[in-house]
Amino acid sequence: MFVFVSIILVFVAYTISIKFVYYRYSQLWPHLRNKISTPSYTVGNASFCPTQVRSSALSRNSEDEKPPVTASETRALLVTAHPDDECMFFAPTVLKLVESHAALYLLCLSTGNYNNQGLQRKRELLDSCAVLGIPSNHVTIIDDKELPDDPAVQWSTALISSLILKHIRNYSISVVLTFDGRGVSGHVNHITIYKTLRVSPLIPRTAYTVLLFYIFYMSVPTGCQIFSLHSISLLRKYLSVLELPVSWLFPSDFCCLIGREEYKRAKRAMLCHRSQLLWFRRLYVLFSRYMIVNTFQAITVETKNVKIY
């Protein structure tokens, strides 16, 4: 009897802690959103690109039509590696930004053609974005031989940096969101995006890497922030909503949390990726905390006292 009562008390206490997290988050969200508001800078040269881009997009904004910018508007760029990343890993962030009327752009660096399903996965991505609330003209899908959906192929960091820079400057992006150094699932393509953004010449590297650093970081407008999605342990990853109190205890620079109705919408977006709905991904949708909460760490690179080796 004592054990039964103890279990009930623990369950009640944990349920209360989850409700407390939701309550506190609802109070903090306006402050979090203000952290990523667009700084006051002008749109750069629309043709700016440090390397020649040989990529094509299924759908994108016309580069000649520069978007109007206000100083308080949030303009975010989500950089992913494959179709379905946007809802498998970033759905809470996308939904919260869309709900807040932020201008959200998606840059998907491959067509997901690992199993020769590239055309189908492009269509699925656009369907998913429609459910999540990202306009089709805000979605860019890159189809380039240097960026194949293949963990055995090393992606071109120069090409990635040029594509990201082009979006930042063309659309006056105030915040870039992408993977961290573990890529959530450990996929090499995910990690390469982070490495491209995180490269620092303070560490002995090749002259090419140092040059890439200068091209990227010296060209990003002042005030543009870069955040990487926290990768967590396997146990925490599949605790679903039960993981929320744990996430709350660990520090993060930016956080997005959704409720039941938004989760249903994220699930519908994932169901658009019909070619990827194997049994283990269906389980992922049910149990992954990434379908409910995203926590981010700011990527900072010290640009002072740079040493070139």
Please, what is the angle between helix 118-132 and helix 260-271, to 10°? 160
Please tell me the distance from the alpha carbon of residue 5 to that of residue 137, in angstroms, as a whole number: 56
Gyration radius from the chain CA atoms:
20
The pLDDT, as a whole number, for residue 309 is 35
Interatomic CA distance for residues 68 and 272, integer angstroms: 31
Q: Is the pLDDT of residue 39 over 80?
A: no
Please give the structure tokens belonging to residue 224: 């543009």
pLDDT of 214 reads 55
- State the Cα–Cα distance between residues 43 and 176, nearest whole angstrom: 16
| Model confidence band, residue 2 (pLDDT cutoffs 50, 70, 90) | confident
- The string of pLDDT tens digits covering residues 165-183 is 999 999 999 999 999 999 9
Identify the residue whose tokens are 């990202």. Answer: 134
> Which pLDDT band, with edges at 50, 70 and 90, does 92 fall under?
very high
Residues 6+ apart with CB under 8 A from 6: none
SS3 of 5-52: the string is HHHHHHHHHHHHHHHHHHHHHHHHHHHHHHHCCCCCCCCCCCCCCCCC
CB 256 within 8 A of CB 91: no
Residue 27 confidence (pLDDT) above 50: yes
* Spatial separation of the C-alpha atoms in residues 97 and 173, rounded to whole Å: 13
CB 308 within 8 A of CB 210: yes
* Segment 78-93 mean pLDDT: 97
Q: Does the pTM of the predicted model rise above 0.85? A: no
Alpha-carbon distance of 80 to 193, in angstroms, equals 8
Residue 55 scores a pLDDT above 70 = no
